[in-house]
A and B are shown apart, each in its own frame.
Chain A
Amino acid sequence: MEQENYNRLNVSLDELGFNSENVSKTWKKRKEYYNEDGIRVFTAKNLGAERRRREKHISRLYILRSLIPNITKMTKDSVITDAITYTKRLQYEVDTLTQELHALEEKENLEERAEPKIAEYSAAEDLNNWGIQEEVQVENIGENKLWIKIIIEKNTGRFMKLMETMNSLGIEIIEANVTTIKGAYLIVTSIKGISFDVHQAKHLLADIIKSI
């Protein structure tokens, strides 16, 4: 009964040209028939799907309601309204905090120049301590595909430079795996797009590493 009324109302609205998504969707699924009184009545063809969709919607509204701190009215509208307010407020807070953070950061930058810099972590030391050697290994794994293993000393920005150089040479990386061990980068990649053979590639890479 309620469903019927609901549908009737939706139909009326639809006839008036109002399109809420719900209305238009149920409209399409409607099957028209005449009930006993001869009055045109519409029902949705798949009440099940409609009901499920409504349940999904309502349950999500409940979750939304649970997130929001100040709600007074428990109606659907007010949940949405409060959600809007709350979101805007949170966004505002994020902005404020971000600005504050930036301001603090700038202040800190200005101050830090006066202070002596902290001694940087020396990767080379670590390498020596642990007996890790720099190394390049290249294997051929198919048509124009090479498998490369590189161990290099870890310094800031070194990996990026390696990538840059490789990119500029037209080397395409199929997959990559990089880990950090005690001051060294272990880089294992499969590459393609380079037409050198193994030895040439090895020399090329050694040169690259020296240059970065």
Chain B
Amino acid sequence: MPMSSGSGDKQDMHDQTGCFDPNTMDEGIENSQKDYNTNNNNINLEEDFKPSVEEELSYHNPQHLEDVSTYTNGFTPSPIDIEQQNLGLNIGGSYNNSSNNDMDNHLANEVYQNSTWDPSVQDMDYINHQEHHQLSEQQYQQFVETQNHNQSYNPSSILDPSYSSPDLLNLLRLPRCSASSLLTTPSNICLTNPTQKAPNFHSSMSFLGDLPIGSSDNTSGSSVLYDPLFPLNLPPQPPALRELFQSLPNGYSMPTSSRNGSIFGGGDEMEGDGDMGVLEFNRVTASVGKGRGKATKHFATEKQRREQLNGKYKILRSLIPNPTKVDRASVVGDAIEYIRELIRTVNELKLLVEKKRHGRDMCKRLKTEDDAAESCNIKPFGDPDGNIRTSWLQRKSKDSEVDVRIIDDDVTIKLFQRRKVNCLLFVSKVLDELQLELHHVAGGHVGEYCSFLFNSKVTEGSSVYASAIANRVIDVLDTQYAAGVPHTSRL
């Protein structure tokens, strides 16, 4: 989507981002300008940024308050949010260009004066963006579709290669997307320049996890890996990362979250003898081989990569409902099962929603034609593609396993309980609550275990779905057992 721009560079950037959400793109461009401004002047973002923004707030166009409201929709405010809000206001104002030409020019000038962006870094970003462009674009288009279109978060915008300062941009935008995932950040990688007010920055931004600081002097090749987008395979891919590493001047380090900013390997390696990192490397270098510089450099990135990979396995494991073993192969196995189950559930739910939407109309029509009793048994024609609803999932808890299969109207629940609780009673209660008509029950106690099978039918018009059933059953069983319901006396 072509936009008016003041320079050739910007024009290029716009062309590349033609497919992205125009809203965020507008704001994004302005963001990048802003980022240049603050990036290069202020390390301590919060303190210095706010006053400048507030200054410019006076120019803002009130029409664009709407945009801001979407930003803060549903998210708890935080300092970053407020900043973003200010930005949003500002952006809307400045972009509107009606009365804000002065500010725009001012910004543009500042940008070009203070720009110290290293072309090599830019290339790296570009490479990464190209690599991930296809991958993420599709995904995020879909992602965006499923989201409320009013929401401001658009991950695809972050991959916009026009954003030459991805770090601060991400810094400002990322927190919004999922505040909850802030708390579950296992691994972050960022490049920071330890010699520059790093501690300040970290403390002020600590709630965001580790975030990069663009260096003010030279090649800071910053790349952001932020957890909400971490799995999106944003910037560093290992090869790029290695290049990056090699391009870092002395004194740069690559802390990971596990080390909390401590310096290891990285820059020190390149200098030659360093601190802790290298002490241990001494032992290794003999066995790894000669040529210290290259081998250890690769070594460090290998380590980095390996840690990254382990972190990813952990994340994957955390997503899965019933993880059993910790080792990688079973994590992958569980993930496979879970993804298949999720796909089935999504299909089931989609079908149910469709049925709900069309079924109502169908039912009304049928009632006028035949008896009420007849219409109950007629399946609505509303199925858009004639699919029968099928679903299957399993849930395991400490003492119970539940297997729920649904084919059209028939629900089959298999139950396996490792303790002696009166399963029959509780499950039949649950079935009643869920409006499932019991047709067949079989099972019994075998030693310490009890195992049952329930066949039931979904009452017409009810839209109960598989995972609801499974979760209810498991909950009931677990709570009943935990509540220590006294089992019947044995004589």
B22 interfacial contact with A, CB 8 Å: no
Is residue B10 within 8 Å, beta carbon to beta carbon, of the partner chain? no
- Contact: B440 with A179, CB < 8 Å? yes
Q: Are A87 and B425 in contact (CB under 8 A)?
A: no
Contact with B443, one of A20, A116, A176 (Cβ below 8 angstroms): A176
Our pick among B350, B425, B445 for the contact of A164 (Cβ within 8 Å) is B425
The B interface is mostly helix, strand or loop, or mixed, namely helix
Within 8 A of A (CB), among B373-421: 373, 375-376
Q: Is B483 an interface residue (CB 8 A)?
A: no
Give the chain A neighbours of B51 by CB distance below 8 A. none
Interface residue B356 (Cβ < 8 Å from any Cβ of A): yes
Q: Do A159 and B428 have beta carbons less than 8 Å apart?
A: yes
Taking a contact as CB atoms closer than 8 A, the residue among A63, A85, A116, A190 that contacts B139 in the complex is A85
A132 within 8 A of B: no
Shortest Cβ distance from A78 into B: residue: B233
**Chain B CB within 8 A of A149 CB:** no
Q: Quick check: is A13 within 8 A (CB to CB) of the other chain?
A: yes
Q: Could you tell me the distance between the alpha carbons of A86 and B238 in the complex, rounded to whole angstroms?
A: 21
Q: Please, what's the 1-or-0 string for A180-201, where 1 marks a CB less than 8 Å from any CB in chain B?
A: 1000000000101101000000
Contacts of B315 in A (CB 8 A): 84
A18 surroundings in chain B (CB, below 8 A): 303, 306-307
Q: Which residues of B contact A71 (CB under 8 A)?
A: 135
Contact yes or no, B303 A88, CB < 8 A = no
- Whether a CB of chain B sits under 8 angstroms from the CB of A1 is no
Taking the closest CB of chain A, its distance from the CB of B457, in whole angstroms, is: 9
When the two chains form the complex, which single residue of B327, B328, B376, B424 contacts A163, counting CB atoms closer than 8 Å?
B424
Asked, given contacts A90-B346, A105-B356, A144-B491, whether A73 binds B131 with beta carbons under 8 Å apart, the answer is yes
Distance A119 CA – B373 CA, assembled complex (angstroms): 6
Do B131 and A85 touch (CB < 8 A)? Answer: no
A84-B315, A88-B231 given as contacts; is B287 within 8 A of A39 (CB)? Answer: yes
CA distance A186 to B366 in the complex (A): 34
Rounded to whole Å, the gap between the CB of B400 and the closest CB of chain A is 17
**Known contacts A83-B316, A193-B489; A89 and B440 CB within 8 A of each other:** no
A157 within 8 Å of B (CB atoms): yes
How many Å from the CB of B189 to the closest CB on chain A?
13
Give which listed residue, B146, B232, B445, B467, contacts A85 with CB less than 8 A: B232
Q: How far is the CA of A40 from the CA of B465 in the complex (A)?
A: 61
How far apart are B345's CB and chain A's nearest CB, in angstroms?
5
Contact (Cβ within 8 A) A77 B329: no
Interface status of B280 (Cβ within 8 A of chain A): yes
Please report the total number of B residues contacting A with Cβ < 8 Å: 87
Cβ of A160 and Cβ of B428 under 8 Å apart? Answer: yes
Q: How far is the CB of B480 from chain A (nearest CB, A)?
A: 11
B288 (CB) vs chain A CBs: closest residue: A12
Interchain CB contact under 8 A, B350 and A97:
yes
Q: Knowing A70-B138, A82-B135, A167-B488, say if A77 contacts B338 (CB, 8 Å).
A: no
Task: Tell me if A81 is interfacial: C-beta within 8 Å of chain B.
Answer: yes
Q: Which residues of B contact A207 (CB under 8 A)?
A: none
Q: Does B484 have its Cβ within 8 Å of any Cβ on chain A?
A: no
One digit per residue, 1 when the CB lies within 8 angstroms of any chain A CB and 0 when it does not, for chain B 420-435 equals 0010110011011000
A175 to B449, CA, bound (A): 12
Contact A93 B135, beta carbon cutoff 8 Å:
no
- Chain B residues with Cβ below 8 Å from A93 are 146, 346
- The minimal Cβ–Cβ distance linking B292 to chain A, given in whole angstroms, is 14
Q: A61-B332, A84-B312, A175-B443 are in contact. Are A94 and B349 (CB under 8 A)?
A: yes
In this assembly, does B340 line the interface, its C-beta being within 8 Å of a C-beta of chain A? yes
Whether the Cβ atoms of A173 and B329 lie closer than 8 Å is: no
B463 at the A/B interface (Cβ < 8 Å)? yes
B440 touches A73 (CB 8 A): no
Q: Given A156-B437, A160-B429: A193 and B342 within 8 A (CB)?
A: no
Binds B, one of A26-34, A52-60, A134-142: A52-60
Total interface residues on A, CB under 8 Å, equals 80
Rounded to whole angstroms, the CA-CA distance of A9 and B134 in the bound complex is 35
Q: Which residues of B contact A89 (CB under 8 A)?
A: 139, 142-143, 146
B309 at the interface (CB under 8 A from A): yes
Could you tell me if A80 and B316 are in contact, using CB atoms closer than 8 angstroms? yes
Contact with B along A140-177 (1 / 0, CB 8 A): 00001000000000001101100110010011111111
* Residue A104 lies at the interface, judged by CB distance under 8 Å to chain B: yes
Q: A98 on the interface (CB 8 Å rule)?
A: yes
Check A64–B336 contact: CB distance below 8 A.
yes
Does A49 have its Cβ within 8 Å of any Cβ on chain B? no
Contact of A72 among B134, B336, B432, B443 (CB under 8 A): B134
| Cβ contacts under 8 Å, A175 to chain B | 443-445
A171 to B422, CA, bound (A): 10
**Is A105 within 8 A of B463, CB to CB?**
yes
Closest B residue to A185 using CB positions = B438
Show 16 A/B contacts (Cβ-Cβ < 8 Å), sorted by A.
Answer: A9-B302, A13-B306, A60-B332, A84-B312, A87-B320, A92-B143, A94-B467, A97-B346, A101-B352, A104-B353, A105-B356, A108-B360, A108-B461, A116-B372, A160-B429, A172-B487
Q: Which residues of B contact A (CB under 8 A)?
A: 131-132, 134-135, 138-139, 142-143, 146, 230-233, 237-238, 280, 283-284, 287-288, 299, 302-303, 305-310, 312-313, 315-316, 319-320, 326-329, 332-333, 335-336, 338-340, 342-343, 345-346, 349-350, 352-353, 356-357, 360, 372-373, 375-376, 422, 424-425, 428-429, 431-432, 437-445, 452, 461, 463, 465, 467, 487-491
Additional 19 contacts, C-beta under 8 A, given A67-B339, A176-B441, A178-B442: A40-B287, A63-B336, A67-B336, A67-B340, A70-B134, A72-B131, A84-B231, A84-B315, A87-B342, A89-B139, A94-B342, A159-B428, A173-B445, A174-B444, A175-B444, A178-B440, A180-B438, A190-B444, A193-B489
